[in-house]
Amino acid sequence: MSTGHKHDGDHHDHDHEHPAAPMVEEITDYEVLEIAVRELAIEHGLFTAEDHRRFTEWAESIGPINGSRLVAKAWKDPAFKALVLEDGVKACKEGLGLDWAEPTGFGTPSDYTNFIVLEDTPTLHHVIVCTLCSCYPRPILGMSPEWYRTTNYRRRLVRWPREVLAEFGLILPPEVEIRVEDSNQKCRFMVLPVQPKGTENWTEEQLAAIVTRDCMIGVALPRPGRTADVHPIHKARRPVQASAQHGSAAE
C-alpha cells in the first residue's frame, strides 16, 4: 500500500513525519495553579477529593435560578426587598432556603463570603466584574460564564464600561450612571435590576423567567419575552492584545 499523499495533482512519497495532534488542549497557567492548590488542600486534609467532586457537580448543575427567584421575590415583596439590600446572606436563607455557609446541603466546603445585592434605579446601573481572577457568587448564580473570566472583559470593563456593555447589546442613556463593582476574595456581588414596566401584575414565576444570569451580572436588562442570554456579535473596541493576556498570569 502506498503511503504517499496527493498534492496539486502529483502523487509522491514523503519520508518526513507529521507531528501528532495533541489529544487535549494545553491547560492554562491558572488551571495548573488550581490543580496544585487543590492537591495541596487535599493532602493537608482541608477537604477530600470526594468533597471537591460533589461540590463541583453541584455548582455546575444549579445555574442562576436561585438568583432569579431572589430578584422576583424582591420585586413582589417590598419588605423582602429591604432585607435583600440590607443582608443578602440572611435574605437567601429566609427567602430561598439557601445557606451560604453550607450551600450544597451535604457538608462540602463553601466559598462563603459577604454577599451584597446592588439595586439599580432608572438613573443608576451596576455591573460586576472580578479584575483579579473570576470571583463570582456561585451559590446563587452557579458557575460563571466563560466570558466573565476573560482578560478582555476583566480589564476593559473598568476602563470603558459603556463600550463593553454596548458589545453585549446594552446601550444605556448618557444620563444613567454606571458603577462597576469589583468582586474579591471577601465579597461577592449581584445586581437587582429595575423591574420592567408592564410586569407589575406578573407572578413570581413569570418574573423569574425574565431575570437571566446576564441581568444579575449587569450586562443585560430584563424585559418581557427575553428568557435566555443570547449575545449579539459586536467587534471589541480597544481589545486587550495577546501579549497583555499572557502577562495576566503574573497577577
| 130 noted as active-site residue | yes
Sign of the alpha-carbon dihedral angle for 167, 168, 169, 173: negative
- Write the CB contacts of 218 (distance below 8 Å, at least 6 apart in sequence): 120, 125, 126, 127, 128, 191, 193
Catalytic residue of the set 61, 92, 110, 133: 133
| 243 noted as active-site residue | no
- Write the CB contacts of 191 (distance below 8 Å, at least 6 apart in sequence): 117, 118, 120, 126, 127, 128, 215, 216, 217, 218
| 134 noted as active-site residue | yes
| 92 noted as active-site residue | no
Angle ∠(58,128,33) on CA atoms, nearest 5: 55
Q: Is 168 strand, coil or helix?
A: coil
Number of Cβ within a 10 Å radius of residue 223: 14
Number of Cβ within a 10 Å radius of residue 210: 23
Catalytic residue of the set 92, 130, 144, 215: 130
Tracing cell 498534492 back to the chain, one arrives at: 7
Question: For residue 82, what is its C-alpha cell?
Answer: 429591604
String of b and e for 2-28 (b: at least 16 CB within 10 Å)?
eeeeeeeeeeeeeeeeeeeeeeeeeee
Catalytic residue of the set 2, 61, 68, 134: 134
Sign of the alpha-carbon dihedral angle for 49, 50, 54, 60: positive
Catalytic residue of the set 2, 68, 110, 135: 135
R_g (Cα) of the chain, nearest Å: 23
Active-site positions read 130, 133-135
